[in-house]
Amino acid sequence: WRPIFDKYDRDHDGEIPLEDILQLLHDKNEELEHDIPRGVLEEIVERADWDSNRKLSYAEFKSMVHAYDLGEHRPRFLRLVRYAAMAVVPKRQRATVVRRYLDEYSCMPPPLFLITISIVEVAVFIYYCVVLEEFTATGPVPRDSPLIYNPRRRKEAWRYLTYMFIHVGGFHVFFNLLVQLILGIPLEMVHKWWRVMLIYAGGVVAGSLGSSLSDPYVFLAGASGGVYALIAGHLATLILNFKEMDFAWIRVVFLAIFGSTDVGVAIYTRYMEEDDENRVSYAAHIAGAAAGLLLGVPMMRNLVVHRWEVITGRVFFAVFVVLILIAVLFNAFYTGYFPKSEM
């Protein structure tokens, strides 16, 4: 391969610029430009560029020709970003979309939102386990906490959001953390932390408002509203691009097992708990999932935008805003529907 390398090393400095190779590929085969997107060729060539200097040495050139170790010398962090993008982007979009994610990705700020939220949730859970001297699959239930949603203290508006820091038992906190970290971190890396934060928080608030309307006499705890918002956003992409997603069936089965188990525990806690004051609503799961769908379509990052997606996104966002306003107004003015306030 040395004579071939020397032939295209025009300035004889021992390196061939990547642009020269890409231009050569197109010049030598006019059909190539129509059959293979330029982004795909750039991805192949750049994988051989171990030191990322936009030039190929002879060793890198041989690696590309023999197709071994391609990408192994890519910085580990960029490989991690690539894997995150591959996990949430359909196959037919990867040739151009994943590359653009890599080109545009910035680690400032890093994807720490869900990690931070998870740490706080674990810390709060441990605190109440120690204070209440209980740790079971369905307990403790810190109903006197200033964070939990208490239907008799609805005027303390922060509870509509802060209930996400309270979890009812080890089973509850474990499954919520498992899904929001495994699913949420790749989403956060690809779609940016602030988008994931808004969808997550939107699911949490929608969960508490939905629960207040459908189950007005019970407490509400857990981050399930936010978790199900993330699930719904991902599940919508998974269903629409089922044949294009890697391990689609495995993902569906995993989400189905998690959803049925988590909702089952919530329903059990709601209807089997003998003490009315300890019952916790499960309606937040449904409301959170609806919020995730309504917010995910307009807010999730999409580098390949179609007009129908823009219109659908605006409609979904408008529906979300209207539903939230209705729930807020109902809570504010139809006080007779709710239990008597303790305040």
For residue 236, tell me if it sits in a domain: yes
Helices 224-240 and 283-299: crossing angle in degrees, nearest 10, is: 50
Q: Say whether 224 is catalytic.
A: yes
For residue 181, tell me if it sits in a domain: yes
Question: Degrees (nearest 5) of the Cα angle 327, 179, 75?
Answer: 125
For residue 252, tell me if it sits in a domain: yes
Q: Are residues 123 and 60 in the same domain?
A: no
Rounded CA separation 72/48 (Å) = 9
Rounded CA separation 80/110 (Å) = 13
Q: Say whether 285 is catalytic.
A: yes
Q: Are residues 20 and 83 in the same domain?
A: no
pLDDT tens sequence for the chain (343 residues) = 678 778 878 888 888 887 777 777 666 555 555 555 555 556 666 666 667 777 888 887 777 666 544 444 444 544 545 555 555 555 555 555 555 554 444 555 677 899 999 999 999 999 999 999 999 887 888 989 999 999 999 999 999 999 999 998 898 899 889 888 888 887 887 778 888 999 999 999 999 999 999 889 888 888 989 999 998 877 766 665 566 566 667 777 877 787 777 777 777 767 776 655 555 567 888 899 899 989 988 887 665 567 877 888 899 999 999 999 999 999 999 989 999 887 6
SS (H, E, C) 301-316: CCCCCCHHHHHHHHHH
Q: Which range marks the domain in which residue 104 is found?
A: 76-108
Residue-level pLDDT at 307: 82
Q: Are residues 10 and 58 in the same domain?
A: yes
For residue 161, tell me if it sits in a domain: yes
Domain count, the chain: 3
| Per-residue pLDDT tens over the stretch 273-314 | 665 555 556 788 889 989 998 998 888 766 556 787 788 889
Judge whether 102 and 81 are in contact, CB under 8 Å.
Answer: yes
Q: Is 287 helix (H, G, I), strand (E, B) or coil?
A: helix
Indicate the pTM of the whole model. Answer: 0.70
Considering the candidates 167, 172, 191, 285, report the single residue annotated as catalytic. 285
Considering the candidates 167, 224, 234, 281, report the single residue annotated as catalytic. 224
Name the amino acid, one letter, at 91.
K
For residue 342, tell me if it sits in a domain: no
For residue 343, tell me if it sits in a domain: no
Judge whether 18 and 49 are in contact, CB under 8 Å.
Answer: yes
Q: What secondary structure letter does DSSP report for 56? A: E
Domain CATH code at residue 248: 1.20.1540.10
Residue-level pLDDT at 102: 46
Question: Degrees (nearest 5) of the Cα angle 253, 257, 262?
Answer: 150
Rounded CA separation 286/87 (Å) = 25
- Which ranges in 241-282 belong to alpha helices (H)? 248-272
Q: Are residues 162 and 286 in the same domain?
A: yes
Rounded CA separation 204/210 (Å) = 10
